[in-house]
Amino acid sequence: MNPVNKNFMKELGMCLLFSVGTTLSVDAQDIRKDKLVWIVTSTTNLKTSDQFTYQCVFKTNRANKVQWIQKRGQKTTEFSGTALEGEWNDILTNGSVTYNISQDGIGGTVTFARTGGGLPVITIDFSQGSEHGIRQQFLVAQVQLDN
């Protein structure tokens, strides 16, 4: 084989290898099947419409539970789910899932959603039947697979 064909074949092989690797790394992430880490950069109090910078992390463990990690890991709140509503097979596309949860005997919801092609948001709502309950929406900057 002459040197030109050998180099061409080598470059073609590298391109094919890169293409396969790229395809495999962009598999759809399904909130019901994957453990995911949701990195938050800001929040809005839905009762007052106040917006502010806020860093925290949410972890979803498939359809089982939600963890809310605050203060750089010093405070973790774990919500146990009683039911999961909705289908969201690919978190890169529009969709939503709502966890019906309880915390200290009080029922509420945590909704993970993406609409209009924008960034995902997480909404915590413990306001049912209480004027003091929390209603916060969190803007998600990044979602990663959790090991």
Judged against a pLDDT cut of 60, whether residue 14 lies above it is answered with: no
| Residues 6+ away with beta carbon under 8 Å from 112 | 31, 38, 58, 60, 88, 91, 96, 97, 98, 99, 120, 121, 122
Residue 130 lies in a domain: yes
How many beta carbons lie within 10 A of that of residue 119, not counting itself? 13
Pick from 50, 143, 133, 44: which is nearest to 91 by CA? Answer: 143
In which domain, by residue range, is 65 found? 35-145
Residue 15 lies in a domain: no
Residue 84 lies in a domain: yes
CATH assignment of the domain containing 99: 2.40.160
Residue 75 lies in a domain: yes
Residue 22 lies in a domain: no
Residue 23 lies in a domain: no
Q: Contact, 15 vs 7, CB < 8 A?
A: no
Q: Contact, 96 vs 105, CB < 8 A?
A: no
Residue 10 lies in a domain: no
Q: What gap in Å lies between CA 89 and CA 67, rounded to an integer? A: 20
Quote the pLDDT of residue 24: 29
Judged against a pLDDT cut of 70, whether residue 4 lies above it is answered with: no
Residue 97 lies in a domain: yes
- Quote the pTM value: 0.78
Q: What gap in Å lies between CA 70 and CA 38, rounded to an integer? A: 12
Pick from 128, 121, 124: which is nearest to 143 by CA? Answer: 121
> In the chain, how many domains are there?
1
pLDDT in tens, 60-82: 988 778 999 999 999 999 987 77
